[in-house]
Protein backbone atom coordinates (compact mmCIF):
# COMPACT_ATOMS: atom_id res chain seq x y z
CA UNK A 1 0.00 0.00 0.00
CA UNK A 2 1.36 3.45 -0.86
CA UNK A 3 1.40 5.98 1.94
CA UNK A 4 -0.57 9.10 1.06
CA UNK A 5 0.87 12.54 1.58
CA UNK A 6 -1.14 15.25 3.29
CA UNK A 7 -0.50 18.92 3.82
CA UNK A 8 1.46 20.08 6.86
CA UNK A 9 -0.20 21.95 9.70
CA UNK A 10 2.01 24.80 10.91
CA UNK A 11 1.13 27.13 13.78
CA UNK A 12 2.76 30.48 14.52
CA UNK A 13 2.46 31.68 18.11
CA UNK A 14 3.89 34.55 20.10
CA UNK A 15 3.10 37.69 22.05
CA UNK A 16 1.12 40.55 20.57
CA UNK A 17 3.40 42.53 18.19
CA UNK A 18 5.90 39.67 17.85
CA UNK A 19 5.53 39.74 14.06
CA UNK A 20 3.30 36.67 13.68
CA UNK A 21 1.03 38.02 10.98
CA UNK A 22 3.91 39.46 8.94
CA UNK A 23 5.84 36.20 9.14
CA UNK A 24 2.76 34.08 8.39
CA UNK A 25 2.21 36.07 5.18
CA UNK A 26 5.88 35.79 4.17
CA UNK A 27 5.76 32.03 4.82
CA UNK A 28 2.60 31.57 2.79
CA UNK A 29 4.03 33.34 -0.26
CA UNK A 30 7.31 31.46 0.07
CA UNK A 31 5.49 28.12 0.15
CA UNK A 32 3.45 29.06 -2.89
CA UNK A 33 6.35 30.43 -4.85
CA UNK A 34 8.86 27.64 -4.27
CA UNK A 35 10.03 25.01 -6.74
CA UNK A 36 7.52 22.53 -5.34
CA UNK A 37 4.85 25.26 -5.51
CA UNK A 38 2.93 23.97 -2.53
CA UNK A 39 -0.57 25.22 -1.98
CA UNK A 40 -0.83 27.00 1.33
CA UNK A 41 -3.70 28.67 3.16
CA UNK A 42 -3.48 31.06 6.05
CA UNK A 43 -6.03 30.92 8.88
CA UNK A 44 -6.01 33.60 11.54
CA UNK A 45 -7.30 32.97 15.06
CA UNK A 46 -9.46 34.41 16.36
CA UNK A 47 -11.39 34.36 13.09
CA UNK A 48 -13.44 37.49 13.67
CA UNK A 49 -15.71 36.93 10.65
CA UNK A 50 -17.93 34.20 12.15
CA UNK A 51 -20.82 34.82 14.57
CA UNK A 52 -18.65 33.61 17.47
CA UNK A 53 -15.71 35.63 16.13
CA UNK A 54 -17.83 38.80 16.19
CA UNK A 55 -18.52 38.27 19.90
CA UNK A 56 -14.80 37.82 20.50
CA UNK A 57 -14.04 40.96 18.51
CA UNK A 58 -16.49 43.03 20.57
CA UNK A 59 -14.88 41.70 23.76
CA UNK A 60 -11.34 42.47 22.59
CA UNK A 61 -12.35 46.01 21.69
CA UNK A 62 -13.93 46.35 25.15
CA UNK A 63 -17.34 46.89 23.57
CA UNK A 64 -18.70 44.03 25.69
CA UNK A 65 -17.83 42.39 29.00
CA UNK A 66 -17.84 38.62 29.47
CA UNK A 67 -16.97 36.24 32.27
CA UNK A 68 -13.36 34.96 31.87
CA UNK A 69 -14.57 31.36 31.50
CA UNK A 70 -17.18 32.31 28.92
CA UNK A 71 -14.75 34.19 26.67
CA UNK A 72 -12.26 31.34 26.99
CA UNK A 73 -14.86 28.89 25.69
CA UNK A 74 -15.77 31.23 22.83
CA UNK A 75 -12.13 31.38 21.68
CA UNK A 76 -12.04 27.57 21.78
CA UNK A 77 -15.37 27.28 19.93
CA UNK A 78 -13.94 29.61 17.27
CA UNK A 79 -11.14 27.09 16.69
CA UNK A 80 -13.53 24.13 16.64
CA UNK A 81 -15.74 25.78 14.05
CA UNK A 82 -12.73 25.84 11.69
CA UNK A 83 -11.45 22.34 12.51
CA UNK A 84 -13.27 20.67 9.61
CA UNK A 85 -11.85 23.28 7.22
CA UNK A 86 -8.34 22.53 8.49
CA UNK A 87 -8.87 18.78 8.05
CA UNK A 88 -10.22 19.25 4.52
CA UNK A 89 -7.26 21.38 3.42
CA UNK A 90 -4.69 19.00 4.88
CA UNK A 91 -6.37 15.98 3.29
CA UNK A 92 -6.28 17.80 -0.07
CA UNK A 93 -2.52 18.24 0.28
CA UNK A 94 -2.71 21.93 1.18
CA UNK A 95 -0.36 23.32 3.84
CA UNK A 96 -2.27 25.15 6.58
CA UNK A 97 -0.61 28.03 8.43
CA UNK A 98 -2.46 29.15 11.56
CA UNK A 99 -1.68 32.58 12.99
CA UNK A 100 -2.28 31.68 16.69
CA UNK A 101 -3.98 28.53 17.96
CA UNK A 102 -4.91 26.72 21.16
CA UNK A 103 -1.63 27.68 22.85
CA UNK A 104 -2.75 31.32 22.86
CA UNK A 105 -5.99 30.09 24.37
CA UNK A 106 -4.20 28.64 27.39
CA UNK A 107 -1.64 31.42 27.69
CA UNK A 108 -4.07 34.34 27.80
CA UNK A 109 -6.60 32.71 30.14
CA UNK A 110 -4.15 30.99 32.53
CA UNK A 111 -2.46 34.39 32.91
CA UNK A 112 -5.75 35.66 34.32
CA UNK A 113 -5.62 32.95 36.98
CA UNK A 114 -7.88 30.31 35.46
CA UNK A 115 -6.52 26.79 36.16
CA UNK A 116 -4.10 25.60 33.47
CA UNK A 117 -5.80 22.23 33.06
CA UNK A 118 -9.21 23.83 32.78
CA UNK A 119 -7.89 26.13 30.06
CA UNK A 120 -6.47 23.24 28.06
CA UNK A 121 -9.54 21.01 28.26
CA UNK A 122 -11.86 22.51 25.62
CA UNK A 123 -9.15 22.31 22.94
CA UNK A 124 -8.29 18.63 23.51
CA UNK A 125 -8.90 16.74 20.27
CA UNK A 126 -8.41 19.63 17.83
CA UNK A 127 -6.11 18.87 14.88
CA UNK A 128 -2.56 18.90 16.29
CA UNK A 129 0.05 21.03 14.51
CA UNK A 130 3.03 19.24 12.99
CA UNK A 131 5.15 22.26 13.88
CA UNK A 132 4.63 25.23 16.19
CA UNK A 133 6.89 28.23 15.70
CA UNK A 134 7.05 30.39 18.80
CA UNK A 135 8.18 33.91 17.89
CA UNK A 136 10.02 34.94 20.99
CA UNK A 137 10.34 38.63 21.83
CA UNK A 138 10.58 40.35 25.18
CA UNK A 139 7.38 42.21 26.12
CA UNK A 140 9.37 45.46 26.22
CA UNK A 141 10.51 44.97 22.59
CA UNK A 142 6.97 44.20 21.50
CA UNK A 143 5.64 47.32 23.23
CA UNK A 144 8.09 49.62 21.49
CA UNK A 145 7.35 48.09 18.06
CA UNK A 146 3.78 48.79 17.33
CA UNK A 147 2.32 50.56 20.32
CA UNK A 148 0.23 48.50 22.68
CA UNK A 149 -2.97 49.92 23.96
CA UNK A 150 -5.67 49.60 21.35
CA UNK A 151 -7.13 46.31 22.55
CA UNK A 152 -7.62 44.40 25.78
CA UNK A 153 -4.46 42.44 26.79
CA UNK A 154 -2.11 44.87 25.03
CA UNK A 155 -0.22 45.86 28.16
CA UNK A 156 3.30 44.95 29.11
CA UNK A 157 2.47 43.21 32.39
CA UNK A 158 -0.22 41.10 30.71
CA UNK A 159 2.19 40.11 27.95
CA UNK A 160 4.84 39.21 30.52
CA UNK A 161 2.43 36.79 32.21
CA UNK A 162 1.30 35.37 28.87
CA UNK A 163 4.92 34.74 27.90
CA UNK A 164 5.54 32.76 31.10
CA UNK A 165 2.63 30.43 30.28
CA UNK A 166 3.87 30.03 26.69
CA UNK A 167 7.23 28.94 28.11
CA UNK A 168 5.52 26.24 30.16
CA UNK A 169 3.59 25.01 27.10
CA UNK A 170 6.79 24.92 25.04
CA UNK A 171 8.61 22.90 27.69
CA UNK A 172 5.74 20.40 27.92
CA UNK A 173 5.47 20.04 24.16
CA UNK A 174 9.20 19.39 23.83
CA UNK A 175 9.25 16.96 26.76
CA UNK A 176 6.29 14.88 25.59
CA UNK A 177 7.15 15.04 21.89
CA UNK A 178 3.52 15.71 20.98
CA UNK A 179 4.32 17.87 17.97
CA UNK A 180 7.40 19.98 17.41
CA UNK A 181 7.91 23.34 19.17
CA UNK A 182 10.59 25.60 17.74
CA UNK A 183 11.52 28.92 19.30
CA UNK A 184 12.58 31.69 16.96
CA UNK A 185 14.33 34.83 18.18
CA UNK A 186 11.88 37.35 16.74
CA UNK A 187 13.58 40.43 18.15
CA UNK A 188 15.82 40.46 15.04
CA UNK A 189 15.30 41.97 11.62
CA UNK A 190 12.35 40.45 9.77
CA UNK A 191 14.32 38.77 6.94
CA UNK A 192 16.50 36.92 9.46
CA UNK A 193 13.40 35.74 11.32
CA UNK A 194 11.87 34.61 8.02
CA UNK A 195 15.02 32.62 7.18
CA UNK A 196 14.90 30.73 10.48
CA UNK A 197 11.22 30.02 9.97
CA UNK A 198 11.88 28.70 6.49
CA UNK A 199 14.63 26.41 7.76
CA UNK A 200 12.14 24.80 10.14
CA UNK A 201 9.29 24.62 7.63
CA UNK A 202 11.11 23.54 4.46
CA UNK A 203 11.23 19.80 5.31
CA UNK A 204 7.44 19.87 5.68
CA UNK A 205 6.79 21.88 2.54
CA UNK A 206 6.59 18.81 0.31
CA UNK A 207 3.87 17.33 2.52
CA UNK A 208 3.70 14.93 5.44
CA UNK A 209 3.28 11.16 5.33
CA UNK A 210 2.41 10.45 8.98
CA UNK A 211 -1.23 10.71 9.99
CA UNK A 212 -2.47 13.86 11.67
CA UNK A 213 -2.55 13.69 15.47
CA UNK A 214 -5.15 15.18 17.76
CA UNK A 215 -4.11 17.81 20.25
CA UNK A 216 -3.24 16.58 23.76
CA UNK A 217 -4.59 13.07 23.34
CA UNK A 218 -2.00 12.21 25.97
CA UNK A 219 -1.91 14.44 29.05
CA UNK A 220 1.31 16.48 28.63
CA UNK A 221 1.52 17.38 32.30
CA UNK A 222 2.11 13.79 33.50
P1 LIG B 1 -4.76 39.05 17.34
O2 LIG B 1 -5.94 39.18 16.41
O3 LIG B 1 -3.79 37.97 16.91
O4 LIG B 1 -4.11 40.39 17.63
O5 LIG B 1 -5.37 38.52 18.73
C6 LIG B 1 -6.25 39.29 19.43
C7 LIG B 1 -6.02 39.21 20.90
O8 LIG B 1 -6.70 38.07 21.43
C9 LIG B 1 -4.59 39.12 21.35
O10 LIG B 1 -4.38 40.02 22.44
C11 LIG B 1 -4.43 37.71 21.81
C12 LIG B 1 -5.80 37.32 22.25
N13 LIG B 1 -6.09 35.90 22.05
C14 LIG B 1 -5.89 35.17 20.92
N15 LIG B 1 -6.34 33.92 21.07
C16 LIG B 1 -6.86 33.87 22.32
C17 LIG B 1 -7.50 32.84 23.06
O18 LIG B 1 -7.69 31.70 22.59
N19 LIG B 1 -7.90 33.15 24.33
C20 LIG B 1 -7.73 34.39 24.86
N21 LIG B 1 -8.19 34.62 26.09
N22 LIG B 1 -7.13 35.38 24.19
C23 LIG B 1 -6.69 35.12 22.93
Would you say residue 220 lies in a domain? no
Decide: helix, strand or coil at residue 190: helix
**Dihedral sign computed on CA atoms, order 172, 176, 182, 185:** positive
CA 109 to ligand 1: nearest atom: 21
In a domain, 209, yes or no: no
Mean pLDDT taken over the chain = 93
Q: What is the pLDDT of residues 200-219, one digit of tens each?
A: 999 999 999 999 999 998 87
Nearest-angstrom CA–CA distance, 212 and 195: 26
Ligand 1 pocket member 18 (CB < 6 A): no
Strand order in the sheet with 9-14: 40-44, 95-99, 9-14, 131-136, 180-185
- For residue 121, how many other CB atoms are within 10 A of its CB? 15
Q: 199 by DSSP, 3-state: which?
A: helix
DSSP helix, strand, coil percent of the chain (3-state; round to 5): 50, 15, 35
CB hemisphere CA count around 199 (13 angstroms)? 9
Asked, for residue 173, whether it belongs to a domain, the answer is yes
Ligand 1 center to 25 CA (angstroms):
18
Answer yes or no: is pLDDT of 58 > 60. yes
Write out pLDDT tens, residues 111-149: 999 999 999 999 999 999 999 999 999 888 877 887 777
Helix (H, G, I), strand (E, B) or coil at 180: strand
Q: Whose CA is nearest to atom 17 of ligand 1?
A: 105
Substitution site in 22, 45, 46, 112 for ligand 1 pocket (most atoms within 8 Å of beta carbon): 46
**Residue at 213 is within a domain:** no
Residue 111 belongs to some domain of the structure? yes
Give the E-state strand segments of 117-175 in sequence order. 131-136
In a domain? residue 215 = no
Q: Is residue 219 part of a domain?
A: no
Can you give the CATH number for the domain in which 96 is found? 3.40.50.300
Pocket test for ligand 1, best of 108, 114, 160 (most atoms within 8 A of CB): 108
Residue 212 placed within a domain? no
pLDDT computed for residue 57 by the predictor: 98
Contact status, residue 71 vs residue 127, Cβ threshold 8 Å: no
State the residue range of the domain holding 109: 9-204
Give the chain's domain count.
1
Residue 220's pLDDT is what? Answer: 77
DSSP labels for 28-82? HHHHHHSTT---EEEEESS-TTSHHHHHHHHHHTTSS---HHHHHHHHHHHHHTT
Amino acid sequence: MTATTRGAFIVIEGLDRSGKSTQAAILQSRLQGGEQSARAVLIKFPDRTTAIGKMIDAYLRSQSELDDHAIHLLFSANRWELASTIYAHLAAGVTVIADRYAFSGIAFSARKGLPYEWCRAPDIGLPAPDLTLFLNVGPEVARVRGGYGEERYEMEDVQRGVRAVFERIGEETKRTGQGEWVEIDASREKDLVAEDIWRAVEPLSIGVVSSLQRLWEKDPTT
